[in-house]
Structure 1
Amino acid sequence: MPDALVQPFYEVPGRIVSLHKNEYLFHEGGAAKYFYFVHSGQIRISKSADSGRVLSLRLAHQGSVIGELPLYQKRRVYIFDAIAKTAAEVYAIEYPVLEHSLEEHPQLAVNMLKIMAKHMRKQHHKFRDLLLYGKKGAVYSTLIRMANSYGREEDGGVLIPLEMTNQELADYSAMSRESLNRLLSEMKRDGIIAYRGSFIFLRDMAYLRQEVRCESCGAEDCIIE
């Protein structure tokens, strides 16, 4: 079930949209018609450069909002790509309908402010890690966020049960796959990570947290969403 902040938005007129794995919800540059709440599944939000490089920004899940930037804009355009990482469902509300509801229902507007504030804190911490700690710090913080979002503690470490290629992990960390492969090899050699099948197992979570100064932010903001 959606959390308490999101649940009231399901009373605003909208519709459920179902997505298959690897199906696009929208493309960068496309006309923006809907504000979305993720109802189930995972949706990757990414930005493409002219060079063909991809930067994955978020892995949205149940309760996440998508398409927030065109809200209250005269010219509504999506500035990111949104693609289903798994089979997913979203609740779609047309922008004019949502804007009218926010203006008519103050508590709904307060909920939206709280949702946006949480979202901004998460993005702030992500960009802080990338700017202050470089490519290595970006990989460390990405692994920490994935562990906080989906990890399972076992054998003194944390297993991240996410099906993810090295290219996808590189896209979340703003680096090339070749550079990521070298770094992962070093981390495995140093006993920081291991592999269990296709999943990454964090053997030394404390080391990763120390390297990116995790004590300065709350775990609720340090997630991959």
Structure 2
Amino acid sequence: MFEKHGQLLKFDKGSQIFQEGELANDIYLVNHGKIQISKETENGKELTFRLCGKGCILGETTLFTRDNLHTTSAIALFPSEVFLLSKATLEMLLTEQPALLIEYLKWIQNENIKNRTLIRDLVMNGKKGALFSTLIRLANTYGETIADNVIYIKFNLTNTDIANLCSTSREMINRMLNDLRKQKIISMDKGFITIHDLQYLKDEICCENCPLSICRID
């Protein structure tokens, strides 16, 4: 649908795809690359909600609403390609094709569950729980199993990036990551994290073992 009715756009690393507060007249589908979805608070602190890869849809929250402003910002973390489809076109296609509308509703419901579990982990489990759940989500989304219970996360992240995902300070993340490294729960090499004991992280936050379609960072 995006390929047939949309337009392919290319963005360099660091380019802004859309900004919070801008008019939201289009929906985007990531074809290639990595896109960060984030929000800036009044005091200038950045909170990262998603790290999106191929197949992710962006800007979907404004569909079938009168609120035509983006509530988050999207920035290309690497050279990226996205399909742009106008909001009006997508709304028309969905209303004309009931089967497609049902699939869209299933997808948006899944996204809502993802968001609720993310907020739950950030608010209810404290700073440590926020970090552990973020590492688990990263493993589920960008992880490569290299041994039993050992996951290599194929996504380069700075401690600041992780802090933004956890809605906490870089100093706090530095301390918690160092503690995990000393316990040999994780190791880090040039921004790439290897989790050596995924079950430990799950046990510490009483993980509910949500489906992989829910426990993701994209």
- TM-score, reference length from structure 1: 0.91
Structure-1 residue corresponding to 2:131:
139
Structure-1 residue corresponding to 2:32:
40
For residues 151 and 82 of structure 1, what CA distance do their matches in structure 2 show? 23
Q: Are 1:175 and 2:158 an aligned pair? A: no
Alignment of 1:157-176 (within 5 A): 157-176=150-169
Structure-2 residue corresponding to 1:193:
186
The match for 2:89 among 90, 97, 102 is 97
CA contact (8 A) 1:9 1:108 kept: no
For residues 148 and 21 of structure 1, what CA distance do their matches in structure 2 show? 24
My pick for the range that moved more, 191-200 or 169-178, is: 191-200
Structure-1 residue corresponding to 2:216:
223
Provide the identity percentage: 35
My pick for the range that moved more, 37-46 or 155-164, is: 155-164
- Please, which runs of 5 or more residues in structure 2 have no aligned partner? none
**Offset at residue 43 of structure 1 (A):** 0.6
Structure-2 residue corresponding to 1:59:
51
**Offset at residue 176 of structure 1 (A):** 0.3
For residues 90 and 9 of structure 1, what CA distance do their matches in structure 2 show? 9
For residues 118 and 152 of structure 2, what CA distance do their matches in structure 1 show? 21
Letter in 2 for 1:189: K
For residues 150 and 200 of structure 1, what CA distance do their matches in structure 2 show? 11
RMSD: 1.4
My pick for the range that moved more, 167-176 or 211-220, is: 211-220
My pick for the range that moved more, 189-198 or 95-104, is: 189-198
Structure-1 residue corresponding to 2:104:
112
CA contact (8 A) 2:37 2:72 kept: yes
Letter in 2 for 1:28: E
Structure-1 residue corresponding to 2:68:
76
For residues 138 and 210 of structure 1, what CA distance do their matches in structure 2 show? 14
**Offset at residue 175 of structure 1 (A):** 0.4
CA contact (8 A) 1:39 1:62 kept: yes
CA contact (8 A) 2:30 2:56 kept: yes
Deviations 1:14-67 (A, max 9, x none): 211111111110011111120111112111100101111000000111111110
- Please, which runs of 5 or more residues in structure 1 have no aligned partner? 1-7
For residues 130 and 59 of structure 2, what CA distance do their matches in structure 1 show? 24
Structure-2 residue corresponding to 1:4:
none
**Offset at residue 9 of structure 1 (A):** 4.5
Q: Are 1:24 and 2:16 an aligned pair? A: yes
Deviations 1:114-146 (A, max 9, x none): 210121121121111112211111110111111
For residues 114 and 132 of structure 2, what CA distance do their matches in structure 1 show? 16
Aligned residues: 217
Letter in 2 for 1:27: Q
Query: Runs of 4+ in structure 1 displaced over 4 angstroms?
Result: none
CA contact (8 A) 2:2 2:84 kept: no
Deviations 1:64-106 (A, max 9, x none): 1110111122241111010011111111111111111111111
**Offset at residue 206 of structure 1 (A):** 0.5
